[in-house]
Chains A and B, each alone.
Chain A
Amino acid sequence: ETGVTQTPRHLVMGMTNKKSLKCEQHLGHNAMYWYKQSAKKPLELMFVYSLEERVENNSVPSRFSPECPNSSHLFLHLHTLQPEDSALYLCASSQDHQGTKTQYFGPGTRLLVL
């Protein structure tokens, strides 16, 4: 349960604010992910990092900016968001980004954009 942590757990921000979401994994994994979970929609994979290099960007708007300073930490920088960006943002990690590896998820950050 504590293998992947996310802070903050809840965030309310205005459309002109700048904020950052933080994810930390304590599992010794080399791959990290950001997902967006909106109500009644499938999870959307946003970004994939492998050994601190971004390997996937699924057409995510530029108002979301990821950063992976090392294999244990992943950030999602937010600026000029829209109300439709309100969602649960989940971080995950896996041993590597190969298809057979299980992803382990953090508890998520519940984001509300006003």
Chain B
Amino acid sequence: AQSVAQPEDQVNVAEGNPLTVKCTYSVSGNPYLFWYVQYPNRGLQFLLKYITGDNLVKGSYGFEAEFNKSQTSFHLKKPSALVSDSALYFCAVRAPNNFNKFYFGSGTKLNVKP
């Protein structure tokens, strides 16, 4: 069973509009959740993570994500998109009972148009 799902291959948004990139997970217990961004020909860059505490996590470049345990979701959000936010975004989950299992979603391509 897939542990992380990013249901949208691509998200299109106009510059200045809010954006949401969706992620749902399926691991038992309390997962550790991460978002990474990948620009063309580059490795993954860490954006933010949820370990415990406040469900709303703030990260780099104005991004934030909300952990929703009942919906097993960890959607990435930004109030106002920039053209430079256009990239590939990956959600990842680490199982709390097996740190060596680190699962990534298939990625969502974000296109921000001017």
Interface secondary structure of B, over-half rule: strand
Q: Does B56 contact A (CB under 8 A)?
A: no
Are B43 and A108 closer than 8 Å at their CB atoms?
Answer: yes
Looking at the complex, which one of B41, B95, B107 makes contact with A107 (CB distance below 8 Å)? B41
Asked whether A55 and B100 contact (CB < 8 A) given A4-B43, A100-B32, A107-B41, the answer is: yes
Bin chain A's interface residue count: 20 to 34
**Judging by beta carbons under 8 Å apart, are B46 and A102 in contact?**
yes
Contact of A107 with B100 at beta-carbon distance under 8 Å, contacts A42-B4, A99-B32 already known = no
Chain B residues near A74 (CB-CB < 8 A): none
Contact B49 A102 (CB under 8 A): yes
What's the A-B contact tally at a CB cutoff of 8 Å? 59
Q: Given A41-B106, A42-B106, are A99 and B46 neighbors across the interface (CB < 8 Å)?
A: no
Contact B46 A103 (CB under 8 A): yes
B102 contact set on A, CB distance < 8 A: 33, 45, 103
Instruction: List the interface of chain B (C-beta within 8 A of A).
Output: 2, 4, 9, 32, 34, 36, 41-46, 49, 51, 90, 92, 94-96, 99-107
Q: List 28 A-B contacts (CB under 8 A).
A: A40-B106, A40-B107, A42-B2, A42-B4, A43-B44, A45-B101, A45-B103, A45-B104, A90-B43, A92-B43, A97-B100, A98-B99, A99-B95, A99-B99, A100-B49, A100-B51, A102-B34, A102-B46, A102-B49, A104-B46, A105-B36, A105-B43, A105-B44, A106-B43, A107-B41, A107-B42, A107-B43, A108-B42
